A and B are shown apart, each in its own frame.
Chain A
Amino acid sequence: MMKRLFAVFALLLCLAVAGGISAQDAQSALIVATQLDDVITLDPGRAFETTNLVVHHATYETLLEIRPDDLVTIQPLLATGYTVSEDGLTYTFALNPDARFASGSPVTSEDVRFSWTRLKNIKGNPSFYADAVAAIETPDAQTVVVTLSAATPAFATIVTAPAMSILEKAVVVANGGTDAADADASDLANDWLSQNSAGSGPFVLTGWTPETEITMVRNDNYWRAPAALPAVTLRNVNDATTALQLLERGDVDIYENVDKDLAEQISANGDLKLEMGQTLNLTYLALSPDAATFTTPLSNRQVRQAIAQAVDYDGIIDGLLLGYADRPASPLPIGVQGSDPAQRYERDLDAARALLAEAGYADGFDLTLYIGTGAPGGIPAETLAAKIQADLAEIGITLEINQQPTSNFLTAFRAQELPFLFSTWTPDYLDATMWSDYFSFADGGLSKRIRMDIPEIAAIAQQAAAETDATARTALYQQYQTAHVTEAVFVPLFQPQLLYALRSSVQGFSFHPVYFLEFYTLSKG
């Protein structure tokens, strides 16, 4: 009995060892080591996480697009172009007659109407992209006329977001999808769209195994030149060291979001190369100017300016982020219209102390900094808070740190209970309103949450958002930045960079601040 058991065991062991040698198929597929734990669904009408963006960009297309190499110009994609009515309320898109879905069917205006109406009616997390859309008409198969509920100059940019992707109506409907008013209950396509795609992109989704992998193959019916890669697999790898080992051994081709501590080791390896992606994400310090509800010295502008000059920004970026970050002057990140880092605060302790003395706080004061449990830019929130605590101590401000689970922190933030905190902001599309809509007004966005009511900032933000002339708009956003720097309510700490490690054979890397990687232009030598 025992002997037989041993024999079986030995046989299994032999098989197991042999298995390691035989697995050499699909050498030409691109494998990306990443983290998939945020993926909940891959239905473009429902997904609102991070990983889904890169998948949607590969498998679906939008009417217009913004290329990684030029973040301010809107380019045609499924639409050859668009016109805007005088009042800014009507957008007319002309579809490209060559555009085909992966199934081979042409992309029609009805598919556009269906996709956007479905997105809106599902009332899911990404539905807000279609908030401005009041009505969609389809006078012919190649023309889409969109009526907006209010003038939204950012609409053309919003159209480039992966959530605004065009799905093939016939395929989605055949798999339980609907754009009916009650789609939040009656649309049943979520499961199918999480395993398959119904788009016109250069790749086709072939499967998703939670916390394991997402697989895509090349769309051989693609209406433009086909992609170079035959297949792409996103593979979940939890540990940074293990991810690098997989890359060094060639089991994966790209290691996404490299641990910054490993950057040097990667640069030193001749088989690998390190690429950098400048995000438009922002980690900011918020100092409430409110005096009615909060009773902190922060309502004094000079105190806020003093704090802005007491923070050791270089220490944070060089010491905690190993230099892999940039820093804008105002909530508008570097790369966005009107943003100019020259205006940003630098550390000047003498100036900070003088400002505090002028404000009547020569001996400093006590203050509480509220934080969540995340790791903005990869720095644990408590580490960043401790750094700020030490910096402010130098001008006599005694900081108490109040850390709560992120969900509780955000709830208190939203309930307008926190006068002093740091948090992060990531863009969903690339128009400047992605920031100015949220950092300006007393009745909405992050400014509401910290009870900021500064009419000057609100007025410029409103004017800039409605301005359709590009030059005039840039000038307005420059004014907007200056007003923010003066008020020092939102003080940017850093704008982090993402690192990618690649096998040297991988060519054509590009980085986009919204959807990150583009597989269409990648190839393996």
Chain B
Amino acid sequence: MILQFFLRRLLFAIPMMFGISLVLFLLYNIVQVDPLVMIVGERAMDNPEIVAAAVQKWGLDRPVWEQYLTYAGNMLHGDFGSSFLTKRPVLEDLQLFLPATLELALSSLVFAIAIGIPLGVIAGVRAGGLIDRAAWGLSLLNASLPPFWTGLIFLTIFYYFLGIAPGPGRLDPRMAFPPRVTGLVTLDAAFAGDWAAFANALHHLMLPTLILGGFTLALVLRVVRASMIEEMRREYVRTARSKGLPPRAVVVHALRNTLIPLVTLLGLAFAGLLSGAVMTETVFDWPGLGTYLVRAAANLDYPAIQGGTLLIALIYIVTNLIVDFLYGVLDPRVRLA
């Protein structure tokens, strides 16, 4: 039953992906750029032999519709072409850049949940109290300050002046990276048993997590707070209280019901963390998906833009799928239809 639900939803994703790829392809062809210079370089453009070899290799001499059909056909085999800029298969590039983003996104999500939910509960239960007002101010700040600005300020204060945070990057410049297995430096260091690198990688996650996760934290806090206030006014809470249930148990009771809107939010927030961390990545020299895509876009590197966009689309589709599934787990009234 559940399997069937998953498969059906995933099947829907396929035409969606093709639709997205077609739109992207058309957009690219409207822009009318000549990718040849990027492929062979400015100097070699004067050498007809090199230019001809490149045109043939990259299929640029073929009509637009044929280029798209080839692309779409290859996509079915999991081949997303090669980047004009890096000359590597796009899939390989994405494998190279996604883990850095994933590591930062996961760390930010954990941070947002671990701090956001308890704070949200307290703020909701004691609405108008000191913690509530402080949390409100904090979330307002977080939501309104641009991450590249806070990033630079945090680096200046915590790294440059206080020296309690490391500089940008995923490891100290004088530290060797552990052998790449997953691409998540913390995990790879743990696999290699390199605990110095593991601790250093965690330390390097601290500031970007604070910045990137701070925004999600603010969202979590506000949603949990609002739902808590609403739930605490419900009749079942009054009933529970009148039955003499300890306050803590009442809160846990109510908290369960705030989880549905929270799961929706977290799903979207996680997908957003994966695709929209460009500024944080730039400030912290974090070689992630955002960095890769911005460079691809700036250079009109079509295969990379296409591949990256499709990956982000897929991330959203899968996250939504998981969220829908979690609804069913959290609330038996939601049927898996």
Contact = CB atoms under 8 A, between A and B. Distances in A.
Nearest to A245: B160
Nearest to B281: A238
A295 interface: no
Interface of A: 2, 5-6, 9, 12-13, 15-20, 22-27, 29, 31, 33, 37, 40-41, 48, 123-125, 127-128, 131, 184, 207, 209-213, 215, 233, 235-239, 241-242, 245-246, 248-249, 251-252, 405, 407-408, 410-411, 414, 428, 444-445
Given A238-B282, A238-B283, A246 B167 contact: yes
B291 interface: yes
A245 B49 contact: no
B164 A17 contact: yes
A212 B170 contact: yes
Interface string B128-156: 00000000000000000000000010011
Interface in B93-133: 96-97, 110, 114, 118
B274 interface: no
B206 A16 contact: yes
Interface string B257-291: 00000000000000000000000001101010001
B202 A12 contact: yes
Interface string B169-187: 1111111110000000000
B45 to A, nearest CB: 6
Interface string B58-102: 000000000000000000000000000111000000001100000
A108 B209 CA distance: 54
B199 interface: yes
Interface stretch (B18-26, B32-40, B234-242, B317-325): B32-40
B326 to A, nearest CB: 17
B287 A20 contact: no
A411 B191 CA distance: 49
A33 B167 CA distance: 12
B172 A23 contact: yes
A410 B174 contact: no
B196 interface: yes
Nearest to A253: B173
Given A37-B295, A125-B43, A239-B282, A19 B201 contact: yes
B166 interface: yes
A444 B46 contact: yes
B215 interface: no
12 contacts: A5-B114, A9-B110, A31-B174, A48-B43, A124-B50, A125-B41, A125-B50, A209-B287, A211-B291, A245-B167, A246-B168, A252-B173
B166 A20 contact: yes
B16 interface: no
**Interface size range of chain B in the complex:** 35 or more
B44 interface: yes
Interface core residue of A37, A246, A445 (most chain B CB under 10 Å):
A246
Contacts of B199: 15-16, 18-19, 22
The prevalent SS among residues of B at the interface is helix
A452 B210 CA distance: 58
Contact of A242 (B42, B85, B152, B206): B152
Contacts of A445: 46
Nearest to A428: B43
Given A23-B175, A40-B86, A238-B282, 4 more contacts: A236-B287, A239-B282, A246-B173, A405-B33
B4 interface: no
Contacts of A238: 168, 282-283, 285
B86 A128 contact: no
Contacts of A212: 169-170, 177, 285, 287
B193 interface: no
B122 to A, nearest CB: 12
A251 B155 contact: no
Contacts of A241: 152, 156
Contact of A410 (B32, B42, B169, B203): B42
Contacts of A20: 164-166, 200, 203
Contacts of B201: 19
A19 B203 contact: yes
A426 to B, nearest CB: 9
A40 B35 CA distance: 16
Contacts of A48: 41, 43-44
Contacts of B200: 19-20, 22-23
Contacts of A213: 173, 177
Contacts of A184: 53
B178 to A, nearest CB: 12
Interface core residue of B42, B85, B114 (most chain A CB under 10 Å):
B42
B203 A16 contact: yes
Nearest to B110: A9
Contacts of B285: 211-212, 236-239, 242
Closest 9 pairs between A and B when the two form their complex, measured CB to CB: A19-B199, A211-B287, A16-B202, A19-B203, A125-B41, A19-B200, A16-B203, A23-B172, A245-B160
A22 B170 CA distance: 15
Interface core residue of B97, B176, B196, B206 (most chain A CB under 10 Å):
B176
Interface string B324-337: 00000000000000
B159 A249 contact: yes
A242 B168 contact: yes
Contacts of B163: 249
B118 A2 contact: yes
B43 A19 contact: no
A249 B160 contact: yes
B217 interface: no
Interface core residue of A37, A239, A414, A428 (most chain B CB under 10 Å):
A239
Given A23-B174, A252-B173, A40 B159 contact: no
B205 interface: yes
Contacts of A19: 166, 196, 198-203
A210 B174 contact: no
A50 to B, nearest CB: 12
A248 B167 CA distance: 12
Contacts of B53: 123, 184
A12 B201 CA distance: 11
Nearest to B113: A5
Contact of A31 (B41, B152, B173, B205): B173
Contacts of B46: 444-445
B169 A245 contact: no
Given A6-B114, A48-B41, A405-B300, A245 B156 contact: yes
A15 B50 contact: no
Nearest to B87: A40
Contacts of A237: 168-169, 285
Interface string B212-254: 0000000000000000000000000000000000000000000
B282 to A, nearest CB: 5
A16 B204 CA distance: 8
Contacts of B35: 407
A19 B166 CA distance: 9
Contacts of B206: 13, 16-17
Given A20-B166, A242-B168, A27 B160 contact: no
A433 to B, nearest CB: 14
